[in-house]
Amino acid sequence: MALTLLAAEGSGLTNEVIDATTGIIGIAWLIPVLPLLGFLAVLALTKTLGDRAATIAIAVSGVIFALSIAVAVQVLADPATYVRPMPTWIAVGGFEVAFDLYIDQLTAVMLLVVTGVGFLIHIYSVGYMHGDSRYARFFAYLNLFLASMLILVLGANLLTLFLGWELVGLSSYLLIGFWFEKREYAVAAKKAFITNRVGDVSFMIAMFLAFAVVGSLDLLEVNASSLDGTTAFVLVLLLLGGAAAKSAQIPLYVWLPDAMAGPTPVSALIHAATMVTAGVYLTVRMSPVLIQSVGAMTIIAWVGALTALMAALIAVRQDDLKKILAYSTVSQLGFMFIGVGTGAFREGIFHLVTHAFFKGLLFLAAGSVMHAMNNETNVWRMGGLRKVMPITFVTSGIGWLAISGIPPFAGFFSKDQILTEAYLHGFGGVYLVGLVAAILTAFYMSRWFFLIFLGTPRHGGEIHPHESPRSMTVPLIVLAALSAVGGLALNPVHTGPLYTFLEPSVAPIAELGFEPAGPLTEAVLIPIAIVAALFGIGLAYLAYVRRDVSVGAMAEPVRGIGAELLERKFFVDEFYEAVFVRAGGQLARAITWFDSRVIDGAVVGSGVASLATGRWGRRLQSGLLRGYIGWMVIGALAVLGVLIVQVVS
């Protein structure tokens, strides 16, 4: 206790640290354990109960949402960092980690987002997955995901966090490949897992380094340590390596667009609202370490800015409604990393929350559209859906305005606050890149919205779109409400309630000595952001509403090599394919040839094989036991020889 208090003091975190085993914190371990049991129970009972087994998973998701609210209320009423001691996991040679839980304001926010959106998506899936042959199994996997994600946000040390980190990767693998009969879906699942493994290696080395210099992996202790410049720089970059894979940043974002192979509720929950934000959570959680290396933070900010820009550019010319949203997610995660890198930790988390609302909403709306359109995904074969799907249309409209950054919708506040902070903290270049990405965001999301809902239908007469069932529209309405007022309610001004609430759980940046990048103030930056958003929407309106788009993709206003570059996603997949798959494969083949011809050939060819094919070998082959006894005799003779030497000397 004394030690942990001391630890908290060194970190710059102002929370009091309380070891808690009673009250709601005392039973907080139920939050990850219940969905884990739900996962096992549904799998075990599917044979006897059939689809009804899914009810268990849905009930669990509701119960843990309620528990999370209770935990959040406790943190709100009595702010502190609560550590819930749990059994030891690994203990050997001075290395010790336990399954302890760590609950502070940041945890509370993450718990609410994960279980809240998780609960809504369980309900939505009742309608969306109806009739699937592995219906109950889908819910089992959703529960496994929730358990994993909750371990991730609750873990009190980096290794327990990593346990959740890896298990969300497994859940993601299982859910991307849920329809594994399609080969490309299975390939996408594997690609996600392997790409994340690259990041995991970085994360693991970060832990080795942290342990080597701190002697512990506890969040409190690592965050309380004062590191030398090089160690801090390397440690933060290693953590970024892990975060960049999980949160789909350059150069490891390539798995996320392919992950859209999974059922749409999965895209909403895992690949937009929650799992992909784990890297943002990790870096904000380690903010006391981050602020020890402004150099590394600058790299994070630029990775975020370039990812935001590049993904937004790609999204401009995608035609698959889910792929557009996927690149949009990559881009929005980039904004969150701009926040992390420029020291706007709380703004980053704010955007994480609003993004969970509006991107969860947009994906569920996309699912609703696909549900109505016989799984059509090409936006050029849609159009005019506003009439037949009024609820999906209105709720999508709110999501579109929210992500585009139009006040008073949620995304406006969070995105604007990130960009403002980037500017005010002296990251002028990052700010400009972010602003361009924001214009592009408004543009590609307007294109998405206009092509799907406005104009006249471009789909064939055999499709009869219809509004989705209530279990799907209710979650849409809830998320639309949150997207509409969530920003205003949580943090309407820079130092709003959420900002104040989160203060004790992130590192203070006052001592970093950030200076504004120029003379502009927030009063000027906010109008700039609004104009930028309107400009993006206006361009899209001219291109896709005012012009005739009935001819389909031929109607794209710009053609040529630049457009081609965007359509082909800057050829990054092709580049990776050439380097890692083809060149790597050739290297692997060469090594395998070396193994069978050189290593085995040399050893066997010169030695063993000559024996085996020669007279000795034939003798051994004809009666190996006899041959072996021969060897034993030789051995015995040798023993005898030594004995004689002993006796004689």
Residues 563-602 close enough to bind other proteins by CB under 8 A: 587-589, 591-592, 595-596, 599-600
Enumerate residues 602-621 that contact other proteins by CB under 8 A.
603-604, 608, 611-612, 617, 620-621
Options 624, 633, 637, 644; binder of other proteins; rule CB under 8 A? 624
Enumerate residues 194-213 that contact other proteins by CB under 8 A.
194, 197-198, 200-201, 204-205, 207-209, 211-213
| CB-nearer residue toward other proteins: 510 or 591 | 591
Options 29, 39, 141, 162; binder of other proteins; rule CB under 8 A? 162
Q: Does 1 contact other proteins by CB under 8 A?
A: no
- DSSP H or E segment with residue 6: helix 2-11
User: What is the DSSP track for 68-132?
Assistant: HHHHHHHHHHS--EEEE---EEEEETTEEEE--EEESHHHHHHHHHHHHHHHHHHHHHHHHTTT-
DSSP-derived secondary structure letter, 18: E
Options 177, 360, 486, 504; binder of other proteins; rule CB under 8 A? 177
Confirm if 129 and 142 have CB atoms less than 8 A apart.
no
CA distance 284 to 339: 10
CA distance 142 to 125: 10
CA distance 519 to 606: 79
| CB-nearer residue toward other proteins: 564 or 595 | 595
Least distance in angstroms from the C-beta of 190 to other proteins: 5
User: What is the DSSP track for 139-176?
Assistant: HHHHHHHHHHHHHHHHBSBHHHHHHHHHHHHHHHHHHH
Least distance in angstroms from the C-beta of 40 to other proteins: 11
Least distance in angstroms from the C-beta of 211 to other proteins: 6
Q: Does 190 contact other proteins by CB under 8 A?
A: yes
Options 493, 524, 558, 643; binder of other proteins; rule CB under 8 A? 643
Least distance in angstroms from the C-beta of 91 to other proteins: 6
Binding segment for other proteins (CB under 8 A), chosen from 51-59, 267-275, 558-566, 628-636, is: 628-636
Least distance in angstroms from the C-beta of 256 to other proteins: 18
| CB-nearer residue toward other proteins: 77 or 645 | 645
| CB-nearer residue toward other proteins: 70 or 213 | 213
Binding segment for other proteins (CB under 8 A), chosen from 397-405, 423-431, 475-483, 625-633, is: 625-633
Q: Count the residues of the shown chain that bind other proteins, applying the rule CB under 8 A.
A: 79
CA dist 470 → 125, 374, 443, 483, 584 (Å): 11, 18, 31, 19, 50
Confirm if 225 and 213 have CB atoms less than 8 A apart.
yes
| CB-nearer residue toward other proteins: 531 or 638 | 638
Options 109, 163, 222, 532; binder of other proteins; rule CB under 8 A? 163
CA dist 93 → 90, 96, 97, 215, 318 (Å): 10, 8, 12, 11, 53
Scan for tokens 């704010």, then name that residue: 350
Enumerate residues 69-98 that contact other proteins by CB under 8 A.
87-95
Least distance in angstroms from the C-beta of 417 to other proteins: 33
Q: Exposure of 624 by Cβ count < 10 A (0-12 exposed, 13-18 middle, 19+ buried)?
A: exposed
Least distance in angstroms from the C-beta of 630 to other proteins: 11
Helix (H, G, I), strand (E, B) or coil at 227: coil
Q: Which residues contact 379 (CB under 8 A, 6 or more apart)?
A: 319, 320, 321, 324, 447, 448, 451, 452
Q: Which residues contact 528 (CB under 8 A, 6 or more apart)?
A: 435, 520
Enumerate residues 101-160 that contact other proteins by CB under 8 A.
159
| CB-nearer residue toward other proteins: 261 or 382 | 261
Least distance in angstroms from the C-beta of 242 to other proteins: 12
Confirm if 279 and 242 have CB atoms less than 8 A apart.
yes
| CB-nearer residue toward other proteins: 571 or 580 | 580
Q: Does 297 contact other proteins by CB under 8 A?
A: no
Scan for tokens 């943190």, then name that residue: 75
SS3 content of the chain, % helix, strand, coil (to 5): 75, 5, 20
Q: Does 489 contact other proteins by CB under 8 A?
A: no
CA distance 481 to 500: 23
Q: Does 59 contact other proteins by CB under 8 A?
A: no
Angle between helix 30-49 and 135-154 (nearest 10): 170
Angle at CA 94, nearest 5°, toward 90 and 100? 45
Q: Judging by DSSP bridges, how do beta strands 101-103 and 95-98 pair with one another?
A: unpaired
Q: Does 193 contact other proteins by CB under 8 A?
A: yes
DSSP-H helix ranges across 155-263:
158-176, 183-214, 219-224, 229-246, 255-258
Options 101, 142, 214, 300; binder of other proteins; rule CB under 8 A? 214
| CB-nearer residue toward other proteins: 76 or 599 | 599
Residue 82 phi, psi (nearest 5) = -95, 130
C-alpha of 583 from chain center:
28
Q: Exposure of 344 by Cβ count < 10 A (0-12 exposed, 13-18 middle, 19+ buried)?
A: buried
| CB-nearer residue toward other proteins: 577 or 595 | 595
Enumerate residues 249-278 that contact other proteins by CB under 8 A.
none
Least distance in angstroms from the C-beta of 300 to other proteins: 18
Binding segment for other proteins (CB under 8 A), chosen from 231-239, 283-291, 330-338, 478-486, is: 231-239
Q: Does 462 contact other proteins by CB under 8 A?
A: no
Least distance in angstroms from the C-beta of 79 to other proteins: 31
Q: Does 233 contact other proteins by CB under 8 A?
A: yes
Size of the chain, expressed as the number of residues it contains:
649
Q: Does 170 contact other proteins by CB under 8 A?
A: yes
| CB-nearer residue toward other proteins: 195 or 396 | 195
Options 18, 27, 49, 187; binder of other proteins; rule CB under 8 A? 187
Least distance in angstroms from the C-beta of 538 to other proteins: 46
Q: Per DSSP, what are the bridge partners of residue 17?
A: 81
Least distance in angstroms from the C-beta of 3 to other proteins: 14
Binding segment for other proteins (CB under 8 A), chosen from 369-377, 479-487, 558-566, 636-644, is: 636-644
Q: Does 222 contact other proteins by CB under 8 A?
A: no
Least distance in angstroms from the C-beta of 93 to other proteins: 3
| CB-nearer residue toward other proteins: 66 or 636 | 636
Q: Does 183 contact other proteins by CB under 8 A?
A: yes
Number of C-alpha atoms within 13 angstroms, CB side, residue 26?
Answer: 4
| CB-nearer residue toward other proteins: 547 or 589 | 589
* Identity at 461, one-letter amino acid code: G
